[in-house]
Amino acid sequence: MSKVFITGSSTGLGLMAGRLLAEEGHQVVLHARDAARADGTRRALPQAEAVAVGDLSSLAGARAVAEQANRLGPFDAVIHNAGVGYRERRRIETEDGLLHVFAINTLAPYVLTALMQRPARLVYLSSGMHRSTEANFDDLLWETRHWDGAEAYAESKLHDVLLAFAVARRWPGVLSNALEPGWVPTRMGGPGAPDDMDQAHRTQAWLAVGDDPAAKVSGQYFYHMRPRTPNPQVHDAGLQDRLIEACERLSGIALPS
């Protein structure tokens, strides 16, 4: 039996993954953005051991979630599921003056990775859209470019794979992988999304707890429990390091060596 923490798990794929893991007999700790959502999360999955509460759009919120998780852990695996989608029609800043989609999709998983007790496995959710973009560290927060919500989202999902692969390279004792769940009809994906909802949550659960040798790898990218070729940029150690350096500068938190 494993103990697994899942961010962004009050609804959608995070909750679905939590439910699957609980049904398989694993201990699950979920996460919700605020107290009201946490109450609903407890009702949705009463088998969950606990629900950490905190808004990952702020550095204070991400720190608070990491502190709660460390009190509730240690964990065998952490699934970085929390994210916002590609429909933001304008550039939104957080209370820290950071780009909203970057703060939640990129910086929050970095902060949690850096501050939480190191698990045996780390799983980062990306998107197939990451293959259609390029890392842009000259304007990481979209301060000079004309706003494009879909492109900003795709970049953030590229960051997630870069982060997963950077951790795999830097922490050889941890299995760190990324995946795409497919374009599925969640609140983020929209009702017209064509992919199989029944498959969308299974890969992250499999990577978190699976005994299959195919799940016990590191620095890999998956779709429906099979390896998939990611954007070639994610293998560039220099780009991985630039992302880590940017996240450290913007958060004031170093990734432990």
Residue positions annotated with a catalytic role: 153, 157
Computed on alpha carbons and rounded to an integer, the radius of gyration of the chain in Å comes to 17
Count of C-beta atoms within a 10 Å radius of residue 89: 7
Strand 226-227, strand 3-6: pairing: unpaired
Residue 108 and residue 114: Cα distance in Å, rounded?
A: 10
Angstrom CA distances, 137 to 86, 173, 190, 246, stand at 19, 29, 30, 8
Residue with token string 């999709």 = 105
Residue 49 and residue 27: Cα distance in Å, rounded?
A: 7
Omega prior to 74 cis, within 30 of 0 = yes
Are 175 and 122 spatial neighbours (Cβ–Cβ below 8 Å)?
yes
Q: What is the largest CA-CA distance in the chain?
A: 49
